[in-house]
Every structure is written in C-alpha cells, then in structure tokens.
Structure 1
Amino acid sequence: MSFMPWTDAFVLGIETIDQQHRWLVDATNRLHAEISKPEPQRAVLGEILEGLVDYTMNHFVLEEELFQRLGYSETAAHKAEHDAFTATAMNLLLRFEAGENIGAPMLDFLKEWLQHHILQVDRAYAPFLIAAGVR
C-alpha cells in the first residue's frame, strides 16, 4: 500500500491536469519510500524535493494560463492557494538544503495539500474548464 494511493476521486476529467496530478501523487509516494528507508539518501531526497517543487510550479502555470484565457471567475483565489503552496514548499526545500531534516513535515504538507487542493479546490474549476472544451 502506498503512502498516498491514487484513486478515481482524484480524476477531474481533464487529461493533462489529471496526468500532472498523478505525477505529483507518485512523486509524493517516492519521497515517502525514500524517507522510510533505514538510511535515506539526502541526494535522492533533494532530487525528489526539487522535482516536486519545479513540477508543481509548472503545473500551476498551466492551470493559471487556462483560467486567464477562459475567464475563470475564481482565478485570483485559486492563484492565492498556489502562491501559498509555493511559499511553503520553497521554505521547506530551503530548510532541507540548509541541512534540516524536513522529511515528515514535507510529507504531511504534501499529502494534506494535494488531497485538499485536488479534491476540493481543483474539483471546483473542472466543470468550468470542461464546459469550455478543455479535455
């Protein structure tokens, strides 16, 4: 059983976004797997953490571009959620790079945020994007 199992509840029905969400969940599980090892490798942890932060930022750019182009009314609120995630994730990454052990806090943060964001916040925009022809 993985740390954060992918379920159909995460599927929004927008292929590109669903694929990106799946990648983020899989990366969170890779982070958990490495942290759970008797001797986690800092280099591997750093690679996973940096990948998560980079990939998430690119994912946010895609969503926000769609919102802007299609005139999604909740763009500002959604972007504020993205900005808050980015600030927290960057803070955790910088703490890791400074030598701090942030594995458990990062895992808790990622799992809680991804579940809340995909299942509630992103689910709210899905009907709008689908109605606009985004698949």
Structure 2
Amino acid sequence: MTFMPWTEELQVGIREIDEQHRWLVDQTNALHDALQGSARAEHVGELLEGLMDYVMNHFIVEENLFIRLKYPQTDAHQAQHNLFSGQVMSLLGRHDAGEEVGIEALELLKDWLIHHILKVDKAYVEYFQAHGLT
C-alpha cells in the first residue's frame, strides 16, 4: 500500500504545479519505502538533497505566479515557503552531520502535503482562475 497516494484532491488544476506536487508525493513515498527497509544514510541524504532542489525550484514557480498575478496573499504564502525551506535545510544539515532524520523528514513532508497543498495552495486556485490561469 502506498504511504501517500496521489489523489485528485491534491490537484490545484495548474499543470506545472500539479506535476511538481506529484513529484513531492512520489519523493515522500520513496522516503517512506526507504525507511521501511534497510535505508542507507546515503539514500536518505540523496532524497533530502532532491527535496531541497525541489523546494527551491517549485517555490520560485509559485512565487513568480504570485507576483505576475498580484496575488494578495503573496507575503503570507512566501513566509510559509521560507519556513519550510529552512526546515528542509536544517534536516539536510543535521543528516550531513550524521544524525538520523528520516522519520522527522517523512513527518514534515506528510504535514506539508496535508496542510500546505490541501489548504494553503488550494486557496490561490480561485484567484488564479479568475485571473486567467488554469
């Protein structure tokens, strides 16, 4: 059984963002699977590094849309992005220092998917659609 299945509920209806969110779900599942087996620290590190790359690229895409469309909640949304980025950087740094952070990373990702995508990201969909983006 998949830890976090991709569902239509996670879609925001913007192809590029949905593809990026789906990648995040896939990485969350890959981390879960790695932690169920005999995950080597290197594998967890690779997943965390990929997550950091994702965070940087995905947030740039969203934030550029916010600016272009003059989204009124840009500052609050960007603050959440900055907080999450900091948490991922901290986990990666702690991992690189030899600490086991896989389960903590999995919980962070699960919470992010449930709270941020399902609530915070969904909040911009109507605004984006009203401004011609689908």
TM range (shorter): over 0.9
What's the CA shift string for 1:7-60, capped at 9, x where partnerless? 1110111111011000001011001111110x2122211111100111121100
Which runs of 5 or more residues in structure 1 are unaligned? none
Match of 1:127 in 2: 126
Match of 1:17 in 2: 17
How many residues in Structure 1 have an aligned counterpart in Structure 2?
Answer: 134
Match of 1:90 in 2: 89
Larger deviation: 2-11 or 70-79?
2-11
CA distance in 1, matches of 2:50, 2:65: 23
TM-score (norm: length of structure 1): 0.96
Match of 1:47 in 2: 46
TM-score (norm: length of structure 2): 0.96
Structure 2 counterpart SS, 1:72: coil
Tell me how large the CA RMSD over aligned residues is. 0.9
Match of 2:4 in 1: 4
Which runs of 5 or more residues in structure 2 are unaligned? none
Runs of 4+ in 1 over 2 A off after TM superposition: none
Report the CA distance between 1:129 and its aligned residue.
Answer: 1.2
CA distance in 1, matches of 2:13, 2:107: 26
